[in-house]
Amino acid sequence: MELLRSLQFVPGNRRDMLEKSRTFDADVLVADLEDSVPPAEKAAARELVRELAPSLSGRDQKVVVRVNSLDTGLTADELEAIAGPHLYGVSLGKVDSPWHIQECHRLLATQESRLGMESGVIKIIPWIESAAGILRAADIARASPRVVALAFGAEDYTNDMGIQRTDEGEEVRLPRSMVPIVAQAAGIVALDTPYVKFRDPEGLQREAEAARRLGYKGKFAIHPVQLEIINTVFSPREEDLEYARRVVEAWEQAEAQGRGALALDGNMVDVPVVKRAYNILKLAKQMAKRGRSE
């Protein structure tokens, strides 16, 4: 799976912030053409992102553009403007059905063909942020091989449900729990909703840790001060890495001796434990690779 711990939103209508984002310690820079851009500035933001997106990845970050939902009529023009080999993927808002993904897939394929790119290179991260989206999340996750993650959007979800968003989050407990289950079943990652109180690091810490326990692999940030906490929470702890190394070493020795299970520190180690260890070490390698490129 891809390294998608931290995804930093950057308003697509702000040249200063887009240029500054090259220095952010995010795994993914998300140039936003949707919620952070007023309607009157959508066209100008699209052109600005077209200009700057190819040069944004100053610290080997992946570059994603959040485009407007298909019902706005803006998506096709945005995809034509931003598509290119520099683009890791697009984040598509308000996805209620597999058709939204299939249509986005078709539009991206058209642009890849126009640019002479390999088909399927540009990925899709759909936002699951409505009752319909939750109920059809499994179909959405499998609607295209371009889909690499599902993002849960708590603010739009509560708006769709007509309920109040609270600090405790009881109102989103069920849908927030469902998204990582669906993502795991589809072999992709789940990305947690932004924490909007960017001056509350303790609250962010609590929410990010809760998201990790649910199975989320990363979280969106609305301000770069949130990145350190997000990166730390969604990275393996040193003790986890050390245990994973010991598990893999012991397992490989047991395999060489024809054994299918073993005990380590008084606990049975079988295939699921070994798979988890390999995944932890793979994530650590991805983190180290990105660190060397900075």
pLDDT per residue, tens digit, the chain (294 aa), is: 678 999 999 999 999 999 999 999 999 999 999 999 999 999 999 999 999 999 998 778 999 999 999 999 999 999 999 999 999 999 999 999 999 999 999 999 999 999 999 999 999 999 999 999 999 999 999 999 999 999 999 999 999 999 999 988 999 999 999 999 999 999 999 999 999 999 999 999 999 999 999 999 999 999 999 999 999 999 987 778 777 788 777 778 777 777 766 778 777 777 777 787 787 888 777 777 666 444
Candidates 95, 129, 188; CA nearest to 103 is 95
48, 79 Cβ separation under 8 angstroms: no
- pLDDT at position 228 is 97
Among 212, 233, 254, identify where a domain stops.
233
Close Cβ partners of 118 (under 8 Å, ≥ 6 residues apart):
112
Residues 229 and 244 in one domain: no
Residues 217 and 245 in one domain: no
- pLDDT at position 237 is 77
Residues 80 and 188 in one domain: yes
Q: Is residue 138 included in any domain, yes or no? A: yes
46, 12 Cβ separation under 8 angstroms: yes
- pLDDT at position 285 is 79
Residues 132 and 261 in one domain: no
Q: Is residue 1 included in any domain, yes or no? A: no
- pLDDT at position 122 is 98
Distance CA 141, CA 148 (A): 8
Residues 215 and 246 in one domain: no
Residues 142 and 250 in one domain: no
How many domains does the chain contain in total?
2
Query: What CATH number does residue 169 fall under?
Result: 3.20.20.60
Q: Is residue 187 included in any domain, yes or no? A: yes
Residues 168 and 278 in one domain: no
Taking each helix axis from N to C terminus, what angle separates 201-214 and 173-186, rounded to the nearest 10 degrees? 50
Residues 84 and 120 in one domain: yes
Residues 11 and 133 in one domain: yes
Q: Is residue 44 included in any domain, yes or no? A: yes
Half-sphere exposure of 192 (CA within 13 A, CB side): 31
Residues 176 and 259 in one domain: no
235, 283 Cβ separation under 8 angstroms: yes
Q: Is the dihedral of CA 117, 13, 216, 237 positive or negative?
A: positive
- pLDDT at position 52 is 96
Output the pTM of the full model: 0.86
Q: Which domain holds residue 212?
A: 6-233
Among 210, 233, 256, identify where a domain stops.
233
The terminus-to-terminus CA distance of the chain in angstroms comes to: 21
Residues 227 and 284 in one domain: no
Eight-class DSSP state of 66: E
Residues 96 and 195 in one domain: yes
Among 188, 213, 233, identify where a domain stops.
233
Distance of CA 273 to the CA centre of its chain: 25
Q: Is residue 19 included in any domain, yes or no? A: yes
